Amino acid sequence: MIGQSVSHYTVLRSLGAGGMGVVYEAEDTKLGRRVALKFLPPELSRDPQALERFQREARAASALNHPNICTVYSIDQHEREHFIVMELLDGESLSALLNRQRVEPLALVDIGIQIADALESAHAKGIVHRDIKPANVIINGRGQVKVLDFGLAKFDSPRGASRPADETQVSADLTTPGTAMGTVSYMSPEQARGQLTDLRTDLFSLGALLYQMATGVLPFHGDTQAVVFEAILNRDPKPMSDVNPAAPAGLEQIVEKALEKDRSLRYQSATDLKTDLQRLRRKLDSGPKRSTSGVEPGSGPAKAAEASVAVLYFENLSGVKEDEYFRDGITEDIITELSKIKGLRVFSRATVLAYRDKTVTPAQIGQQLSASCVLTGSLRRAGNRLRINAQLVDTRTDFPLWSERYDRELQDVFELQDEIARKIAMALRVTLSPQESAALAAKPTDNLQAYDLYLRAKSHARRMTRQDLELSYQMFQQAVVLDGGFAHAYAAMANAAALHHYNYGRQPLWMDRAEAASEQATALRPELPEAEVARAWVLHTRRRHDEAVRIARQALARKPDCEGAPYLIGRCLFTSGRYQELADIAEPLIQAAGEDYNVYSPIQNALGALGKKDAERNIRQRRTQALEVHLKGVPEDVRARVALAIDFAILNRPEDALREVNLAMLLRPDEASVLYNAACAYCRLGRKAEALGVLAKAHAAGFGDSDWARRDPDLAILHGEPEFERLYPEKT
């Protein structure tokens, strides 16, 4: 159906299939948004019971409006094709996550709370899901849960309403007593017996899911369905503490109660289960926390019981799209200022970036990020005047802890950032040390025009196109002309030049520029994280990878979301063959990188080299999503487009791959990195001759990195080819 129009939807690509339908991504041409279309297979359309079950899924989910439940927009029919229109979800299934790793305790409890919250809402409307399992739970990059697939949902009496005296009565249910419905491993005993089910069935399934997340194994398992049924009905699961001694204390009691075979002894409501999980979450939150630097595995615990603040991007009230660079810069600088206070745990730019220009409540942020406070605000710039409204809100009570309105001259912007940081510390009863006070008072520059150029240039540099990197370099250059002591601008200039060198031709001129700017930044502020990253780029160019990794890690330790550092670490580790080391820190690097799609390439290459196919596939899919999101905002980024072509080729979408690679080469026929990646795409498509021809052009245009090319799995089919060995000989 790809490429076809169904009603006012254009089908774009397949997302997967299950027993009750095939799901596609589609464009809603009326509203201009992406949606998911779930089609009932034609052979089931003629089955009245299957059709009713399919329609019931839509009715059940559409009756619910909850942040943890996949939204259903409508149910429709087109030329005898029955389909549901629903929210297009980003992220991965809990099933895929569990196949890759065991879930950390805090994340486990948070996932459980969100599922219980969704069930609480469904049960309140008399809807029992009856198929809670990892495949029906999606988790996005922010940790938000979405429960989907109400295909087995049963309409029951709403919670609190009177219930039939005869529990054998089946109401609004397409099953009959004696028929087991659901997924065997997560079934409740009453489901296994084919008895009437109620909301407590979902709570048993959630208990099984929590057990699996905590231990990595199912509570009831066996070689056949009959063995699993027997275990569910007659056997207790192995104690969680025996399977995983590191499971959170207190979780075992919760799971045991959820897995009671006698449902009268089980949790009687999702509210009760959620409340116990929230109490456990509070205990875990008050215990030792892991370091937020996110790079060194096995690092020691951080201080306990710190106040945690999520600074959301301020709303731009100027009415001018071009002013968003200023809004972004001010917000990010406030994050940086607050990060200087040791008594606060401040969420990084990469973490809050996903919420930019989204409508979210403090309570949602508290639930999704486990933040105790949220700073929200708005900004309006008019000429030389600046108006900022800021409010600090307690996420648990929704009570404002502090709020202020500022009407200032633009030249007061640094004092304003300083004041906001101090007021937040005061509101949270955090005492500043003399060193912290001095750090807050320090200004990056005294020249407002240089600061404005710096913020504009950063906005361009993040777009990653050749023109944007060149323009950002010129703007940074103007900023340091205005203020020769502006270390941040020198560091940013060095990083822009280094990225231009690596992405667009490997011209020595750009690396010379990076080195000169790096030296200036280091001389002015040797401890500045951005200056350390600039210096690490220079070391990487000289093939001093170990030293580059050490310095880039040092930068991330100082500033957990330091731009460019995650990708550089990944690149150095892959280039030097330290694959397992890179795989061990892959997730923290991705989280720290934010919107920088470059970080995925060395990680997925390392996983491929290690033979970790499932993990590599997962990273590939995440990179594909990141590239597609990026290209919606920056469609002219040809380098991202050709990277997407490689992913399409690997994901067995050859037509899409050829479309993207041909468009990229048409737009940038002489660009080294584009040509190199085009060769990778051709290799993945099995077109060896075309790959060699394009690779020769890439080499002639300046891509001479033999270390990378010889380790790149995309080019594996060229190894041993005389032309490849000539272009990229093995270095000794």
Cite the active site residues: 131
Q: Cβ contacts of residue 462 below 8 Å, gap of 6+?
A: 563, 595
Give a three-class secondary structure readout of 89-153. CCCEEHHHHHHHCCCCHHHHHHHHHHHHHHHHHHHHCCEECCCCCHHHEEECCCCCEEECCCCCC
Q: Return the amino acid letter for 278.
A: Q
Give a three-class secondary structure readout of 273-300. HHHHHHHHHHHHHCCCEECCCCCCCCCC
Cα 719 to Cα 688: distance, rounded to the nearest angstrom:
11
Cα 270 to Cα 573: distance, rounded to the nearest angstrom:
46
CB 654 within 8 A of CB 661: no
Half-sphere exposure of 104 (CA within 13 A, CB side): 8
Q: Which of 131, 138, 92 is nearest to 111 (CA)?
A: 138
Encoding tokens for residue 620? 């590939």
Cα separations in angstroms, 366 against 286, 363, 446, 575? 15, 5, 37, 39
Q: Running DSSP on this structure, what letter comes out for residue 408? A: E
Give a three-class secondary structure readout of 194-251. CCCCCHHHHHHHHHHHHHHHHHCCCCCCCCCHHHHHHHHHHCCCCCHHHHCCCCCCCH
Q: Return the amino acid letter for 72.
A: V
Burial readout 558-567 (b: 16 or more C-beta within 10 A, e: otherwise): bbbbbbbbbb
> Contacts for 253-261 with beta carbons within 8 Å, 24 or more apart?
254/207, 254/210, 254/280, 255/207, 255/210, 255/211, 255/214, 255/219, 257/207, 258/203, 258/204, 258/206, 258/207, 258/210, 259/204, 259/207, 259/208, 259/211, 259/219, 260/204, 261/189, 261/232, 261/233
C-alpha angle with apex 632: 321 to 324, nearest 5 degrees?
20
Cα 26 to Cα 84: distance, rounded to the nearest angstrom:
12
Q: Return the amino acid letter for 507.
A: Q
Write the DSSP string, 164-195.
Answer: -S-TT---S-S--TT---S-GGG--HHHHTT-
Cα 289 to Cα 301: distance, rounded to the nearest angstrom:
5
Cα 681 to Cα 686: distance, rounded to the nearest angstrom:
9
Q: Cβ contacts of residue 131 below 8 Å, gap of 6+?
A: 149, 151, 152, 181, 182, 183, 186, 205
- Cβ neighbours, 10 Å, residue 224: 9
Q: Which of 346, 240, 362 is nearest to 292 (CA)?
A: 346
Q: Return the amino acid letter for 487.
A: A
CB 280 within 8 A of CB 250: yes
Q: Return the amino acid letter for 480.
A: V
Q: Which of 238, 201, 241, 240 is nearest to 220 (CA)?
A: 238
Encoding tokens for residue 67? 């942040």
CB 377 within 8 A of CB 324: no
State the maximum Cα–Cα separation within the chain, in Å, rounded to a whole number. 84
